[in-house]
């Protein structure tokens, strides 16, 4: 009986704690001619999205071209609902709406495959 009560308390504590997840995505940003700070400006706009916290960003020089920059981003988020994949879809839409220069973001499947629980 003690074991059952202990497991129940652990379950309740787990359910009430805030869950924070980490995921990765890759975005492609258009670099207009003469705009040197496009990557920095785009990252600043991404950091302003209220539902995510950008943890790490790295430009993939090998995949980038003079017209496009490829940026790998690791971010943390607190799920808005019980369906994390739905939340990832919403986050992807938020990323795409940040700027006209953001051309694409990783598929939700790729984001979900990198999903880890932080807390």
Q: pLDDT tens digits for 37-70?
A: 888 899 999 999 988 889 999 989 899 888 999 9
Residue 3 domain flag: no
Tell me what percent of the residues of the chain surpass a pLDDT of 70. Answer: 91
Residue 46 domain flag: yes
How much is the pLDDT for 12?
62
Residue 4 domain flag: no
Q: Which residues contact 77 (CB under 8 A, 6 or more apart)?
A: 20, 21, 23, 51, 52, 53, 87, 91
How much is the pLDDT for 113?
85
Residue 12 domain flag: no
* C-alpha closest to that of 66 among 29, 107, 26, 115: 29
Quick one: how far is CA 6 from the chain centroid? 35
Residue 2 domain flag: no
Question: What is the distance between the alpha carbons of residues 75 and 47, in angstroms, rounded to a whole number?
Answer: 9
* Number of structural domains in the chain: 1
Question: What is the distance between the alpha carbons of residues 66 and 112, in angstroms, rounded to a whole number?
Answer: 30
Domain that includes residue 104, residue range:
18-117
Report the CATH number that the domain containing residue 99 is assigned in CATH. Answer: 3.30.70.260
């Amino acid at each position: 009986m003690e074991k059952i009560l202990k497991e129940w308390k652990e379950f309740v504590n787990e359910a009430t704690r805030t869950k924070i997840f980490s995921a990765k995505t890759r975005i492609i940003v258009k670099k207009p001619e003469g705009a040197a700070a496009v990557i920095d400006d785009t990252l600043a706009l991404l950091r302003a999205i209220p539902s995510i916290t950008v943890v790490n960003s790295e430009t993939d020089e090998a995949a980038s071209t003079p017209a496009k920059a490829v940026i790998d981003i690791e971010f943390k988020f607190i799920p808005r609902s019980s369906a994390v994949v739905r939340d990832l879809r919403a986050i992807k839409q938020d990323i795409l709406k940040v700027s006209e220069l953001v051309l694409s973001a990783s598929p939700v499947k790729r984001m979900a495959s990198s999903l880890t629980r932080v807390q």
